[in-house]
Amino acid sequence: MSNNKKYYRTVFKIEVLSDEPIGPGIGLEDIAYEISEGQWSGMFLDEEVEECDEERITELLKNQKSDASFVIEEIWNEQ
């Protein structure tokens, strides 16, 4: 890993108003659907952007159980 390409981590904090508690394990698609088409109301409260190098983005991808080659072309080309 030797290039100087930058990557970005963006964290959004949203507020959701609903008529019952939101269960654990709900996915992003379900949250978006319920806010835009369903019975929930939602809005962004905060956004945090972090510039990352390959080492940091690889660490973050591993934390998400994602393959780093999904983002980092050099790893993709080695496979």
For 28-76, the pLDDT digits (tens) are 999 999 999 999 999 999 999 999 998 999 999 999 988 888 777 665 5
Q: Poorest-confidence range of 13-17, 24-28, 60-64, 73-77?
A: 73-77
Helices and strands (DSSP H and E) totals, the chain: 3, 2
**Nearest residue to 16 via CA among 36, 44, 42:** 42
- Alpha carbon 38 to its chain centroid, in Å, reads 22
CA angle at 70 for the pair 53 and 35, rounded to the nearest 5°: 95
Q: What pLDDT is recorded for position 13?
A: 96
pLDDT band at 1 (very low <50, low <70, confident <90, very high): very low
